[in-house]
Structure 1
Amino acid sequence: MFKQQLLATLLLFATTAALKAQNGAPVRYKDLVFPNVEKTADLSYGPGETKDEKKAHLFDLYQPKGDKATARPLIIWMHGGGFKYGSKNAKGVEIWSETFAQRGYVCVSINYTLSKHYPFLHVDEFLRSSYYAVQDARQAVAFFKKNYKEYNIDPDKIILGGNSAGGMIALQTAYSSNVELAKLAALPDSVAFSKQTEVTKVAGVISYWGAIYNLDWLKNARVPIVCVHGSEDRLVPLTHKDNPLYGSLSIHQKADELKIPNSFKLFKGYSHELQSHFNPIFGVSKKTKGRWLEAGQYTADFLYTAAINK
């Protein structure tokens, strides 16, 4: 599977390089500029914590090899898995971290607190689990804003991104306050951080087949949003139905209404994770990975204008 991923990445790089040879020099943050990426695994955005807490707050760092630039934009990637499964080593976030680092970004793929129960079977537990995952995302943003010099990043250009549950974390972190999220999850006022009334300030949100709990939360900020979704997604529907979620189409329509910079790409005929038929057990096909790479390029084009060079 690793060989397939590497081949897909090399193919995308070669294709992009060929096109740029015809049309001009590759553009940093839009195109695949760097052929090699340096990865540093198992760092922590929660130093000084207990062993279990540290495991939940590990991250892998991806940087373009040989890059001398400073003040680079950072993308914090968060995996899917229904707030129960997954890790920073998930194939999707590995692919996006690798290819966005090739474009000149600094990327980190993070772990976050997972539920000990089964969130996808109980709405209340799903909401509680997302609340605590959002706290981890806020902690990660604060960590990188504090340590921006060490990683040669611009603290004002931190972008949150993820797929499925990870996309949901990105949206809720950027657009909901802890008060709003804790109230929705029926958490007591005594819960740590619950009295925070401000959203976390970031430069952009990447939501791959994610959702937001309340469209009115989009009034809380003006953070550029890029959404990607499959038209046949039954796990996280495009629009609000008999569930507590508002998917990518609803977000796109509301963001347009509020004049929030946003872009929405629909993959017609595909299900969750852009698979033909969503199956979290078996491996991801080469064609699905190709769609993930296509989603990444679409995202890079949007972010270049809406978040990086605005």
Structure 2
Amino acid sequence: MKYILFYLLIFFSISVFPQCDGRYESEIFDEVNKTIVEYTDVYDWSSFDSGLDMDIYQPANDTVTSRPLLIFAHGGTYVAGNKNNPTMVRLCEAFAKRGYVTASIQYRLTSPLNLILPNAYDIFSQTVLNSVSDMKAAVRFFRKDFFENGNSYGINPNQIFVGGNSAGAVTAAHLSVIDENQVPNEFQSYFDLAGGIEGNSGNYGYSSEVSGAVLLAGAINSLDFIDADDTPIVSLHAIDDNTIFYNCENAIGNSSLPILCGAGEIHNKLDDVGIINDLYTFQSGGHSAPMSNIDDVAIPFISDFLYELICNTNTVEDISNFRVRIFPNPCKNYLFVESVRPIYEIIITDLLGNKLLDMSSIFPIDQINTSFLKNGTYFLFNKNELSSVQLFLKN
């Protein structure tokens, strides 16, 4: 039954979200509730703090139970910071008061001394990918909760965004744009140690796909990661930032660290490939400009972008729904599947939500034997991207 309810949630959200009933544009709640949870026990925050935690913020006394989720990560050059970073708290509270569910996560860091070692390039690169692995586990935590615990946090699993400032924005940027077929040979060993494209930080079996990214002074290692299949990005960045540069330079100006390309280059590439995006450029203020202007510039700018994306377009829903094509439809004994991304697990249910087929394969699924089905109407789900739902007929 949970699959049919999830499908109906998606189906009706396309018509419901364009109105948004006054939510998400400005603060409509006076208070928020914060819950601290351990989102994974695979890795520890420190020798004195087991597991990795996050603070989850929800609007107090809210009755809506299908809300967009924003997951934020703090800055600190991957050597410092925590989930109680003031910028993260402000973002989480401001957007929770607008009706979102928000979260601020811990993620694995490294020692400051490691950035002056001869192998600083390797350590920094590995730390970035470790943080991506952790953030993906946080995304999966919420989807796992949706299906296994009855959606404790009242999220819409089809509308999850990631973001952060500085290092946290670098993490969110890489999560949102890197696909498995885009890993450069020079970085393959770092990905392998981090558990591959999905990471090794836990909550396996659920999708880590997101609907967009929010970057405050963020960057990515290579513009080649960006392609037409990526999700929307909104950024704020100062043109005189000399920590994470507006264009492409070595991180923190240190030639022993990897090159990072900031918002100036990211958004040029997003425009080139046709991805919805928006960029606010500060003419001065340096690395701290987005954070120093969090209330008067950053939050309103991000809020307007997300509101348009969620409430005035179907883009967020459409990102997943048009990736899969099935044929022939109606079918007889076989149904063929075409997908932008490989599908390894599918589920077929009837209209009452009864699961009739739960199929897994080590190879991409491109054909399904439907001879066992009675004539009728069915739903087909991509198990790892449950927003991707297809209706088909068997006759």
Task: Return the TM-score normalized by structure 2.
Answer: 0.63
| Partner SS for 1:30 | coil
Contact 2:43–2:51 (CA<8 Å) still a contact in 1? no
Contact 1:56–1:113 (CA<8 Å) still a contact in 2? no
| Partner SS for 1:187 | helix
1:210 and 2:222 aligned:
no
Q: Distance in 2 between matches of 1:134 and 1:233?
A: 23
Aligned AA (2:52): H
Contact 1:167–1:208 (CA<8 Å) still a contact in 2? yes
Runs (4 or more) in structure 1 with deviation over 6 Å come to 48-51
Q: Can you give the 5+ residue segments of structure 1 that lack an aligned partner in the other structure?
A: 1-25, 276-283
1:261 and 2:276 aligned:
yes
- Choose 1 or 2 for highest CA Rg: 2
Q: How far does residue 28 in structure 1 lie from its aligned partner after superposition?
A: 1.1
Which is richer in strand?
2
Aligned AA (1:233): D
Using a 3 Å threshold, how does the CA distance of structure 1 residues 97 and 184 change in structure 2: closer, same or farther?
farther
Match in the other structure for 2:306: 303
Question: RMSD of aligned C-alpha atoms?
Answer: 2.7
Match in the other structure for 2:289: 274
Contact 1:37–1:98 (CA<8 Å) still a contact in 2? yes
Which piece of structure 1 moves more, 239-248 or 124-133?
239-248
Match in the other structure for 2:122: 124
Q: How far does residue 232 in structure 1 lie from its aligned partner after superposition?
A: 1.4
1:225 and 2:225 aligned:
no
Q: Distance in 1 between matches of 2:153 and 2:260?
A: 35
| Partner SS for 2:195 | coil
Contact 1:175–1:220 (CA<8 Å) still a contact in 2? no
Match in the other structure for 2:39: 45
Instruction: State the Cα deviation string for residues 73-110 of structure 1 (Å, max 9, x = none).
Output: 00001000111100000010010001000100000100
Q: How far does residue 267 in structure 1 lie from its aligned partner after superposition?
A: 1.6
Q: How far does residue 180 in structure 1 lie from its aligned partner after superposition?
A: 4.9
Match in the other structure for 1:248: 263
Which of 59, 64, 67 lines up with 2:59 in the alignment? Answer: 64
Using a 3 Å threshold, how does the CA distance of structure 1 residues 37 and 274 change in structure 2: closer, same or farther?
same
Instruction: State the Cα deviation string for residues 18-44 of structure 1 (Å, max 9, x = none).
Output: xxxxxxxx9311111111111123x11
Q: How far does residue 273 in structure 1 lie from its aligned partner after superposition?
A: 1.8
Q: Distance in 1 between matches of 2:54 and 2:187?
A: 27
Contact 2:161–2:213 (CA<8 Å) still a contact in 1? yes
Using a 3 Å threshold, how does the CA distance of structure 1 residues 190 and 166 change in structure 2: closer, same or farther?
closer
What pairs up with 1:137-286 in 2 under 5 angstroms?
137-148=135-146, 149-177=151-179, 180=182, 183-185=185-187, 187=189, 191=193, 193-194=195-196, 200-219=208-227, 221-242=229-250, 244-274=259-289
Q: How far does residue 213 in structure 1 lie from its aligned partner after superposition?
A: 0.7
Using a 3 Å threshold, how does the CA distance of structure 1 residues 48 and 223 change in structure 2: closer, same or farther?
closer
Contact 1:62–1:97 (CA<8 Å) still a contact in 2? yes
Contact 2:227–2:273 (CA<8 Å) still a contact in 1? yes
Aligned AA (1:45): Y
Using a 3 Å threshold, how does the CA distance of structure 1 residues 101 and 260 change in structure 2: closer, same or farther?
same
Which is richer in helix?
1
Identity among equivalent positions (%) equals 30
Instruction: State the Cα deviation string for residues 42-96 of structure 1 (Å, max 9, x = none).
Output: x111158768596451001111111110110000010001111000000100100
Q: Distance in 2 between matches of 1:190 and 1:214?
A: 19
Q: Can you give the 5+ residue segments of structure 2 that lack an aligned partner in the other structure?
A: 1-20, 200-206, 252-258, 315-395
Q: How far does residue 219 in structure 1 lie from its aligned partner after superposition?
A: 1.3
Q: Distance in 2 between matches of 1:46 and 1:182?
A: 28
